[in-house]
Structure formats: structure tokens, C-alpha cells
Amino acid sequence: MVNATEFRSAVKGWLEENFPLALKGQTAMLLELASVQNNLEGDILLWRQNLAQAGYGAPTWPKAYGGAGLTHPQAKILAEEMKRVGAFNLIPALAGMGVTMVGPTVLEYGTDDQKARHLPGIASGTIRWCLGLSEPSAGSDLASLTTKAVADGDNWLLNGQKTWTSGADISQWCGALVRTDSSAKKRDGISFLMLPMDQAEIKTRPIKLIAGASPFCETFFDDAKASKDDLLGKPNEGWSVIKRLLQHERQSQTSASRTGSAREAFQDTAKRYVGVDAQGRLDDADLRIRLANHLMDATAHSLTVRRIREEARGKVEVSAAASILKNTATQVAQIKSELTLELMGYQGLGWQGDSFNEEELDNVRSWLSGKAMSIYGGSYEVQKNIISKNILGLPENTQKG
């Protein structure tokens, strides 16, 4: 096996040969383009192709399914070296819910045929996935869903409505949680189906949010077709599949900071806006204390993420600890946005105009959109229930069914 030093040297060489220098440091631009576009061109297209060819889009996946077969420590080195040169892995953003959620679940529950058909497209960033989970009357209580699927020859016919379907209007495939046995108990009789979005029987309608741009959609199924070969897991056992998928989602949401090239230290941003006293300290004692508390919380969160990843090395399962990290990541990110808004003062409230710079306009949008972090991926309260039952061992206090 290649040691860490040799692997790092190999990655450095690969980046020198394959990363277009014109994209250096353009992490934000790459991420935004990848999140809204399927048709890339020029250097961005070349970078996607180079990542896919090396398997670096989903680096820890098996090579047979488009990954690079890296260990988690090797994947960390890859990320570090990309950050060092101002590069960014845009394939997870291009794949929508594919790399972080659908793919890992297919790897665990999928048949060999399903893995061969679906995973390479995700790992290369050429196929975008969305997830049909929440419904108008089934949010945190997802098991109350009413979207139905009825067997029809070689297919399932889906009827119903999903909401908050991120990227539904630009995705090629959808993983949908549907009811396949209405006579069963609430958490039974549910299945997870994968289906193509390019059907006249599927309609999407974007949902506009207060922060401006929004990935969310309403999705309507009217006799939409899913092949019986695209049932993930066993019939009527989709609840187990979706619990696993949501664990992967929570694990992917544990980072409270942005990836990519280095950014100005938060305390330096604060000093730039608020100013410093004669000792060079932030010239607002109360804000200084709250900023210090935030930085300690952010560091504690980061160290806890690292510790849990080390403890989980070599294990396939995703532990309930992801719920703890999801909640702490939410707290750290939301408090940072609040503090940034406060230290920027009037400049932190701009929506448009030449009197506000890009950083200020970006923060007010992040502040608004970040409020949703307490809800999506399982609400803050749902995570607390998971923590109480699965980590602390407290008794079940919700209705069974």
C-alpha cells in the first residue's frame, strides 16, 4: 500500500497536470455553477472530466463504480491538497443528492445491477439526483406520507405530491419514498423507489424563499413510472432504507465551515469592521466575548467531527452521533451569521446596490437561508429525539405506529 507521503506527492503531481489554473481560488463560483447547471463548458467541464477520470468525484467509492477506491485518510489528503492549490471537487454539487446520500445508500442496499447502472453517473457528476421525501402533510413525521405506488406489470405507478424537493427541476433521477401497502402500520408498507424525472407524468414547481434563489420545488406525480428493477431494498421495507439515507445526509451536514480555498479569519473580519482598541483587541468588549465563545464552539465542533471520524474508521455503519454533529453544526453556522450581521452593522443588511460589497451581500443571504438549517435534514427537535433514544438510551415517548 502507498504510504501517506507517497500518496500526497502523487496527488500534488496529479493536480499540477490536471487542475486548470484559470479556476484557482474560484471555489464559490464553481460551487454555484455546479449547483444550478448541468451543461458545463471550458475549464470547468475539463476539471469535471479530469476528476471523474481519476475517480476523485467520489474518492472512497470502489473503482468499479466510478470512485478511486481511496481510504478515508487518503481522501482527506486529497481534499487538503485541493484546498492548498485553490481547487474544489465540484462533482458532489453536480450530482445533487447523489454523492452524499443516494450513492452511499445504493452501495449498501442496491443490487449489483443497480450499482452498475446508477453509481458511475453519480461519481462522474453527469447525473443529478433529487429526493422525494417530505410532503405537505408529512414533514418531520415523514412516516405519515401518502404518495402511493401501485404495481403495474414491470413498473410501479406513482401518484401524489412531494415538497421541498431540492433540485427537482434540474435533476435526471429521483429517489422517492412511497406507500406501497396502505393496510400496514404507519412505518410499514413504505418502499424506496428510484425513477427517471424525464416523464410527462412528473411536474415540478420551484419554491421561492426569502433568501432569494432557492433549490426547493414542489413535485407532482400523476401515474409516474418507476421500474420494478429500481426498488431499492425489499418491498415495504423502505423505512429502514430511508433511515440509513438520512444518517448519511446528517453526516454530510456536520461541517459548519465552507470548504475550498482559505478565507479571512473571522476575528480579522470583525476587527476590520468594528476596529481595535489601544491593545489591538476588538473594540467592543461584549462582542469580543461572544466572538471568543463562538470560536471555541466552532473549534470544539471541528475536533469532535475529527474524533468521531477516527473512531468510525473502517466501519461501514453511520452512527447516531451524526445527529449530534448536525445540531452543533447548525448552531455554529447560525451564530456565525448572526455575529457577522451584527459586526457589519448597516453594511450587513444590504440586498443590492453599489454601496455593498460581494461579501456583505453574500452574508445577508446566508443569514436568511441559514435559518432553514434547523429544519432540513431532520429538524433540530427530531435530532434531539434521536440523540435521547439512540445515544442516551432514554425511553421512547412518541406514538408508535
Q: What is the DSSP letter of 230?
A: G
Here the cell at position 101 is 446520500
- Collapsing DSSP to helix, strand or coil, 145 comes out as coil
C-beta of residue 31 within 8 angstroms of C-beta of residue 37? no
Question: Residue-wise over 96-119: b if at least 16 C-beta within 10 A, else e?
Answer: bbbbbbbbbbbbbbbeeebbeebb
C-beta of residue 248 within 8 angstroms of C-beta of residue 101? yes
Angle at 108 between CA 102 and CA 114, to 5 degrees: 65
Beta-carbon contacts of 207 under 8 Å, excluding residues fewer than 6 positions away, are 163, 164, 214, 216, 217, 218
| Amino acid, single-letter form, for residue 158 | L
N- to C-terminal Cα distance for the chain? Answer: 50
Q: Residue 383, exposed/middle/buried by CB under 10 A (0-12, 13-18, 19+)? A: buried
Q: Which of 32, 249, 310, 359 is catalytic?
A: 249
In whole angstroms, what is the distance from residue 213 CA to residue 184 CA? 40
Longest C-alpha distance within the chain, in Å?
79
- Collapsing DSSP to helix, strand or coil, 184 comes out as coil
Q: Residue 249 catalytic?
A: yes
Place of cell 470583525: 270
Here the cell at position 351 is 440586498
In whole angstroms, what is the distance from residue 255 CA to residue 258 CA? 8
Which residues are part of the catalytic machinery?
249
